[in-house]
Amino acid sequence: MNKIKKFNVKDDRNLSMLMDFYELTMANGYLLKGFGDKIVYFDVFYRKNPDGAGFAIAAGLQQIIDYIKNLKFSEEDIEYLKEKNMFSEDFLKYMKNFRFSGSINAIPEGTPVFPNEALITVKAKAIEAQLIETMLLITINHECLIATKTNRIVRAAKGRPVLEFGARRAQGYDGAVYGARASYIGGAAGTATTLSEQMFNVPASGTMAHSWIQFFGDEFEAFKAYAEIYPDACTLLVDTYNVLESGIPNAIKVAKEVLEPMGKRLKGIRLDSGDLAYLSKKVRKILNASGLEDCKIVVSNSLDEYIIEDLIAQGAKIDVFGVGERMITAKSDPVFGGVYKLVAVEEDGQIVPRIKLSENAEKITNPGYKTPWRLYDKETGKAIADVITLAHEKIDENKEYTIFDQENIWKKKKITKFVARKLQVPVFIDGECVYESPTLEESREYCEKQLDTLWDEVKRFVNPHKYYVDLSMELWHVKQELIQKYRVK
Amino acid sequence: MNKIKKFNVKDDRNLSMLMDFYELTMANGYLLKGFGDKIVYFDVFYRKNPDGAGFAIAAGLQQIIDYIKNLKFSEEDIEYLKEKNMFSEDFLKYMKNFRFSGSINAIPEGTPVFPNEALITVKAKAIEAQLIETMLLITINHECLIATKTNRIVRAAKGRPVLEFGARRAQGYDGAVYGARASYIGGAAGTATTLSEQMFNVPASGTMAHSWIQFFGDEFEAFKAYAEIYPDACTLLVDTYNVLESGIPNAIKVAKEVLEPMGKRLKGIRLDSGDLAYLSKKVRKILNASGLEDCKIVVSNSLDEYIIEDLIAQGAKIDVFGVGERMITAKSDPVFGGVYKLVAVEEDGQIVPRIKLSENAEKITNPGYKTPWRLYDKETGKAIADVITLAHEKIDENKEYTIFDQENIWKKKKITKFVARKLQVPVFIDGECVYESPTLEESREYCEKQLDTLWDEVKRFVNPHKYYVDLSMELWHVKQELIQKYRVK
C-alpha cells in the first residue's frame, strides 16, 4: 500500500436537520415554556455488547466534533420549519441564531468500553442538548458497531492482515465510507473504499474483479495484461472458471513468463469462492512447488470471526483476509443500541439527578452528572473494573477502594495498588472545542494498546468473562432514592 | 401530518470516488491495453430474497440517476490518483474529462422483483461501466433491502400505519436518510427523520421522548405543557414511570382538564416498553371508559413483522406501529446481495456473451444482453412467471408461450391468454437521461398496486411459494454452450 499524503476531502453536507422530528417539537416546547436556558445533562451509553461480546470499541467522536462545530440552521431549514405550521416565531428566530454553547466530555476513539458507562456526557441548555440527540446516536451507534465487529474479526485473524472489502454491501454511502474509517480504528489493515482514503487516510488498495477476466475471455490473457500493467502489485483473482485447473496454472504461467523476465515476483493470488481451507492448502503446495513461496494467498467470500477462526484451526494457508458484508454491516448483530438519556437538570444552581424507570431493572438509568473511571492493577497493568462516580467524586489511589456489584451489593471487593483513570476527556467547554484530536492512525494504535489491558477472558468470543462496571456508593444511594421516589406505591 | 411543499434539499456531496479501488486499477488497465472504448454489458441482479421471502422490492433508481448525471472527477481526485503512483498520464487525462456516455435500462422503483433478473442493465464503454459498479451496488443493495423489509412489516400490520422511527440506530447518516426514503416506497406511512422530509417529501412527524417527561420531573406537568403547546397533535408517551398507574391516569387528566376545555381531543398515547399486547388492551379499555375512544394507541419497541403479526393475533389494540432498528437496518437479514456481473462484450459489432462459472450451479451467471419480462394472466391480472430473454427476442402474446424450469427443463408449462410486459425501462441512452422519474409518492402507490398482482402464496413470510424466473429457450442454449466452452475437461 502506498503512503498517501492526506487529502482532507471533506464531507460538507449540512446534516443539521438529520434529527428525529420530536427533537424539534420538544425544543420548541422548552423555549415556549421558558426553559430554553435551563442546563441539563445527558449521557450517551449502551446496554449490551453486540454478539454477546465482553466489550465494545468506542468510535465516531471525530464525526461528532465536526458536526457540533458546524451545527447551524440554514434559511431553507427555517423556511421548512415555518411551513410545518407548528413552531413559534420565537423558536424560528432562535434556530436562525443557533450555535452549540454547551460542554461535552467523551471517551476517546479506540477505547474498549462497557455497557452502562457514558461514552459521551453532554451538559448544555435543554434545547441544545435535545437537538443534537439523533446525530450523536447515529454516529456512535454506527461507528462503534463497525469498530467493534472489525476488532473481533481482526483478533480472529491472529496477526494476519484483515482488509475491509464491504462497500457494495454497506447500508448506504456513509455505511461504506465511515464504516471503513471505523473498521480501521478497530484494527483493519486497510480498505477497498477509495473515498475513505481520500477523507481519512485509511490505506486503500485493490486489484481486479471477475469482470476483468471475463472481459478478456481468456484467463491467461487477462492475467498477463494485468501483470504487464502492475508488475509490482500483481495479485490475481483465480476463481473465475476453475481454481486448480485453470486459475492457478495460469497465474504460475504469468509469474514465470511475464513477471520473472521483468525481475518481478507474483505478489499474490485471491480466492473468492469454494472451500477456502481445502483450496488454500492445495494452492500453497502448488505455488511452493513452483518456487512461489513468497506469493501471498488472499481469501474473501462471506468471512467473519467465526469462519476465520475455523479456517485457521483447519490449518488453512491464508496470508490475508478480505472481509466484506459481514463486517461492514456487522451482519450477525447489526445494531449497536446506544441511547441518550437525561440524567440531571440544574435547578437554582444545583444539579438535580433525574431517572427513567422501567419494568426491566437493567433498563433503569443511572441518574446524575457522572464520570466513568477505569481501575488498573498497578503491577500487571490490567484493567480490574470500571467505576461510575458522580462527577465531583475523587478516587484516591493511595487508599483502599471498595467496589461492589450494584445488583448484589454484598458482593464486594477491596482494591489496593491500583491506578485510577478517568475515561472521559473534555471535548467542548462552553461551545469551544478544547480537544486535540488524534490522527486516525493514532486512534488505531491506541485501540490496539488498550486491548492489552484487558484479560483474555474478557476478549473471548463466546461467553466472555463479565467485566464489572460498578457504581460508587454515593451514586448507588442517589439511584436508590430516586427509584423510591418515582416508584408508584 | 402536514402536507409540506417540496423543499428539494439536495445531497450535493461528490461521491464520484466512492468506489472500490479495483475499479480504478481495472479502468486504467482497459485504457492502457487499448480497450477503453470497447462496449460491454453488465447486469445488476441478486440471488436470494432476504428473510427467505418470496420477492423483493426494487428501490434506489433515483439515486443512481442523480449519481450518473453528476459523475465527474475533481482536480482533487486527479491529484489523489497521481499520488498513488500507479496510474498512467493518459488515464489521469481521461478521468479529468470523464462523463458517462453509456445506456442504462432499469426496473422502476416499487416493482416487486425476483432473484436472477437484472434490476439494472448497463451498456457502456468498459471503463465507464467499471467505474460505476460500486455506487450502483451500494445504492441498490441499501434501498432494496430497506424497501423490502419495510414492505414485510407493512403487510404484517394489515392496514394499520407503520411509521419509520429508526434513524438513531441506522448504519450511518445515509442509512437513516435514504433508509427513510426506501421505507416509504415499501409502504411506511411516514418517518421521524426530518431531513428525509426536506429531501424527499417523506412525511415527517414526532412528539416527545422520555427526556421531556424526565425534564419536568412531574409527569402530569410534562404532559400538560405539551398539550398546551400542541393541542392539535397531542400524543403522550406514557411509560416513563409506570404506564397503568401513572402514565395513563395523567394522560386522561390532561385530556379532561387541559384539552377538553380548549375543545380539543387527546390524539394518542404511545407505549414504548412492557408487554404491548397486555398493555394495549388494558389501556384501550381505560381510555374508552373515559370517553377517549378516538385516542389512538401508538406502540414502539423493537418491532418487526413477526412481533406485529403476533401482537395482532393476540388481539392487541394498536392503531399505529412505530418501527425502529429492526426496519432501518433490516436486522434479521441485513444484507441485500446485489452483484454486478459482466454478461457480454461487443466484438466487431457483435454482442458476444460472457459467463462466470462457479462450483455452485446457482452462482453461474446468465450470459448475454438480456431483458426480463413479466407474464400476467389476462383474466386475473396475476403474475404467472418472469422470463428472461435475450434483448432481441420478442414474446408474442397472441401465441402460446412455453416456460420451463431451467434446472429441470422437462418441467414445462404452456401459457395462453397472457399479457407480457418488459420489466425494464430505458433510463439513459448514450449518456442522456430519458427517464421521467415518478414522484416518491407515485413509486409508493405503484408498489402497492404491483403487489396486488402477486398471489398471496408468494407473499407469505414463511416458506413462500417459489415464483419462477425462467430463461427463454434461446438464452438457455447460449448459457449451456458457454458452460461447455469454459468447463475444464
**How far A373 CA sits from the closest chain B CA (Å)?**
25
Residue A283 CB neighbour total at 10 angstroms: 25
Kindly list the residues from chain A whose CB atom is less than 8 angstroms away from the CB atom of residue B230: 25, 29, 86
Which domain-ending residue is among A283, A303, A328?
Answer: A328
Lowest mean pLDDT among A1-15, A331-345, B83-97, B389-403: A1-15
Whether residue B9 is contained in a domain is answered as no
- Tell me: do A177 and A297 sit in the same domain: yes
Q: Which three cell numbers stand for residue A244?
A: 486448480
Residue of A nearest to B210 (CA): A356
Cβ-contact B234, B250 below 8 angstroms? no
Give every strand in the sheet of A268-271, ordered side by side: A190-191, A162-164, A320-323, A296-299, A268-271, A235-237
Q: In the prediction, which pLDDT does A2 show?
A: 45
Whether residue A63 is contained in a domain is answered as yes
Candidate from A22, A338, A360 with C-beta closest to B207? A22
- Tell me: do B197 and B271 sit in the same domain: yes
Q: Which domain CATH number covers B247?
A: 3.20.20.70
- Tell me: do A198 and A317 sit in the same domain: yes
Which domain-ending residue is among B328, B356, B379?
Answer: B328
Q: In the prediction, which pLDDT does B2 show?
A: 44
| Binary contact (A142, B171; C-beta < 8 A) | yes
| Binary contact (B142, A26; C-beta < 8 A) | no
Q: In the prediction, which pLDDT does B10 show?
A: 82
Q: Indicate which of A136, A137, A171, A181 best probes the interface with B, i.e. most B CBs within 10 Å of its own CB.
A: A171
Q: Which three cell numbers stand for residue B113?
A: 422483483
Which domain-ending residue is among B328, B353, B376?
Answer: B328
| Binary contact (A19, B195; C-beta < 8 A) | yes
Q: How many angstroms separate the CA atoms of A228 and B33, rounded?
A: 10
The half-sphere exposure of B305 on its side-chain side, counting CA atoms within 13 A, is 23
Kindly list the residues from chain A whose CB atom is less than 8 angstroms away from the CB atom of residue B338: 168
Split into its structural domains, chain A has a count of: 2
In terms of Cβ atoms closer than 10 Å to its own Cβ (0-12, 13-18, 19+), residue A488 is: exposed
Q: Which three cell numbers stand for residue B360?
A: 455452485
Q: How many angstroms separate the CA atoms of B450 and B162, rounded?
A: 19
Identity at A362, one-letter amino acid code:
E
Residue of A nearest to B344 (CA): A215
**How far B157 CA sits from the closest chain A CA (Å)?**
23
Q: How many angstroms separate the CA atoms of B146 and B234, rounded?
A: 29
Of the candidates B178, B212, B207, the one whose C-alpha atom is nearest the C-alpha of residue B192 is B207
Digit-coded pLDDT (tens) for B458-467? 999 999 999 9
**How far A146 CA sits from the closest chain B CA (Å)?**
9
Residue A398 CB neighbour total at 10 angstroms: 6
Q: How many angstroms separate the CA atoms of A76 and B194, rounded?
A: 13
- Tell me: do A323 and A383 sit in the same domain: no
Cβ-contact B222, B254 below 8 angstroms? no
Give the E-state strand segments of B101-234 in sequence order.
Answer: 103-106, 112-113, 120-125, 162-164, 190-191
B166 contact partners, CB below 8 Å, separation of at least 6: B176, B179, B323, B324, B325, B326, B327, B328, B329
Kindly list the residues from chain A whose CB atom is less than 8 angstroms away from the CB atom of residue B341: 210-211, 214
Whether residue B2 is contained in a domain is answered as no
Q: In the prediction, which pLDDT does A13 show?
A: 86
Q: What are phi and psi of B7, to 5 degrees?
A: -95, -20
Is the pLDDT at B344 greater than 60? The verdict is yes
Cβ-contact B234, B227 below 8 angstroms? yes
Chain CA centroid to CA A123, Å: 24
- Tell me: do B81 and B220 sit in the same domain: no
Digit-coded pLDDT (tens) for B154-166? 999 999 999 999 9
- Under DSSP, is residue B350 helix (H, G, I), strand (E, B) or coil? strand
Q: How many angstroms separate the CA atoms of A196 and A199, rounded?
A: 5
| Binary contact (A337, B194; C-beta < 8 A) | no
Of the candidates A310, A313, A286, the one whose C-alpha atom is nearest the C-alpha of residue A297 is A286
- Tell me: do A349 and A469 sit in the same domain: yes
| Binary contact (B170, A171; C-beta < 8 A) | yes
Q: How many angstroms separate the CA atoms of B268 and B233, rounded?
A: 8
The DSSP letter of residue B103 is E
Residue keyed to cell 436486522: B331
Q: How many angstroms separate the CA atoms of A222 and A241, rounded?
A: 13
**Beta-ladder partners of B11:** none
Whether residue A7 is contained in a domain is answered as no
Give the E-state strand segments of B331-397 in sequence order.
Answer: 339-347, 350-353, 370-377, 383-390
- Under DSSP, is residue A451 helix (H, G, I), strand (E, B) or coil? helix
**How far A245 CA sits from the closest chain B CA (Å)?**
7
A408 contact partners, CB below 8 Å, separation of at least 6: none
| Binary contact (A195, B19; C-beta < 8 A) | yes
Q: In the prediction, which pLDDT does B225 show?
A: 98
Q: Which is more confident, A31 or B489? A: A31
Candidate from B80, B215, B335 with C-beta closest to A325? B335
Q: Which three cell numbers stand for residue A277?
A: 481451507
Whether residue A1 is contained in a domain is answered as no
Q: How many angstroms separate the CA atoms of A395 and A472, rounded?
A: 10
Chain CA centroid to CA B347, Å: 36
- Tell me: do B414 and B381 sit in the same domain: yes
Q: In the prediction, which pLDDT does A5 show?
A: 62
Of the candidates B212, B240, B241, the one whose C-alpha atom is nearest the C-alpha of residue B227 is B212
Q: Which three cell numbers stand for residue A252?
A: 504460475
Establish, for the pair of chains A and B, how many residue pairs have beta carbons separated by less than 8 Å. Answer: 365
Whether residue A18 is contained in a domain is answered as no
Residue keyed to cell 488454500: A280
Lowest mean pLDDT among A144-148, A260-264, B6-10, B50-54: B6-10
Q: What is the pLDDT along chain A (489 residues), one digit of tens a residue?
A: 445 566 778 887 889 999 999 999 999 999 999 998 999 999 999 999 999 999 999 999 999 999 999 999 999 999 999 999 999 999 999 999 999 999 999 999 999 999 999 999 999 999 999 999 999 999 999 999 999 999 999 999 999 999 999 999 999 999 999 999 999 999 999 999 999 999 999 999 998 999 999 999 899 999 999 999 999 999 999 999 999 999 999 999 999 999 999 999 999 999 999 999 999 999 999 999 999 999 999 999 999 999 999 999 999 999 999 999 999 999 999 999 999 999 999 999 999 999 988 777 778 899 999 999 999 999 999 999 999 999 999 999 999 999 998 888 888 999 999 999 999 999 999 999 999 999 999 999 999 999 999 999 999 999 999 999 999 999 999 999 999 988 754
Residue of B nearest to A325 (CA): B335
Kindly list the residues from chain B whose CB atom is less than 8 angstroms away from the CB atom of residue A331: 334-335
In terms of Cβ atoms closer than 10 Å to its own Cβ (0-12, 13-18, 19+), residue B5 is: exposed
Burial B442-464 (b: 16+ CB within 10 A, else e): ebbebbeebbebbeeebbeeeeb
Kindly list the residues from chain A whose CB atom is less than 8 angstroms away from the CB atom of residue B243: none
Kindly list the residues from chain A whose CB atom is less than 8 angstroms away from the CB atom of residue B23: 206, 209
- Tell me: do B323 and B471 sit in the same domain: no
Cβ-contact A295, A318 below 8 angstroms? no
Q: How many angstroms separate the CA atoms of B366 and A471, rounded?
A: 61
Q: What are phi and psi of B57, to 5 degrees?
A: -115, 125
Of the candidates A219, A296, A292, A228, the one whose C-alpha atom is nearest the C-alpha of residue A262 is A228
**Beta-ladder partners of B340:** B44
Digit-coded pLDDT (tens) for B115-174? 999 999 999 999 999 999 999 999 999 999 999 999 999 999 999 999 999 999 999 999
Whether residue B5 is contained in a domain is answered as no
Q: Which three cell numbers stand for residue B119?
A: 434490476
Q: How many angstroms separate the CA atoms of B260 and B266, rounded?
A: 8
**How far A240 CA sits from the closest chain B CA (Å)?**
6
Cβ-contact A264, A290 below 8 angstroms? no
| Binary contact (A215, B19; C-beta < 8 A) | no
**How far A397 CA sits from the closest chain B CA (Å)?**
36
Of the candidates A228, A303, A205, the one whose C-alpha atom is nearest the C-alpha of residue B20 is A205
Is the pLDDT at B5 greater than 80? The verdict is no
Q: Which three cell numbers stand for residue B23?
A: 475499479
- Tell me: do A271 and A374 sit in the same domain: no
Candidate from B76, B126, B135 with C-beta closest to A215? B126
| Binary contact (B18, A226; C-beta < 8 A) | no
Q: Which domain CATH number covers B42?
A: 3.20.140.10
The half-sphere exposure of B262 on its side-chain side, counting CA atoms within 13 A, is 16
| Binary contact (B169, A335; C-beta < 8 A) | yes
Burial B262-278 (b: 16+ CB within 10 A, else e): eebbbbbbbbbbbebbe
Q: In the prediction, which pLDDT does A218 show?
A: 95
Q: How many angstroms separate the CA atoms of A481 and A475, rounded?
A: 10
- Tell me: do A441 and A376 sit in the same domain: yes
- Under DSSP, is residue B298 helix (H, G, I), strand (E, B) or coil? strand
- Tell me: do B86 and B168 sit in the same domain: no
Q: In the prediction, which pLDDT does A439 show?
A: 96
Q: Which three cell numbers stand for residue B402?
A: 412455453
A61-to-A396, A437, B154 alpha-carbon distances in Å: 29, 9, 35
The half-sphere exposure of B409 on its side-chain side, counting CA atoms within 13 A, is 9
- Tell me: do A126 and A254 sit in the same domain: no
Q: In the prediction, which pLDDT does B371 show?
A: 98
Kindly list the residues from chain B whose CB atom is less than 8 angstroms away from the CB atom of residue A35: 215
Residue B100 belongs to what domain range? 22-132+337-486
Give the E-state strand segments of A16-62 in sequence order.
Answer: 39-45, 56-57
Cβ-contact B179, B371 below 8 angstroms? no
Q: How many angstroms separate the CA atoms of B142 and B238, rounded?
A: 34
Whether residue A12 is contained in a domain is answered as no
Q: Indicate which of B16, B51, B125, B215 best probes the interface with A, i.e. most A CBs within 10 Å of its own CB.
A: B215
**Beta-ladder partners of B199:** none
Cβ-contact A40, A346 below 8 angstroms? yes
Is the pLDDT at B1 greater than 50? The verdict is no
Of the candidates B141, A2, A13, B107, the one whose C-alpha atom is nearest the C-alpha of residue B133 is B141
| Binary contact (B273, A360; C-beta < 8 A) | yes
Instruction: Write the Ramachandran bin of A38: left for phi over 0, alpha for psi from -120 to 50, otherwise beta.
Output: beta
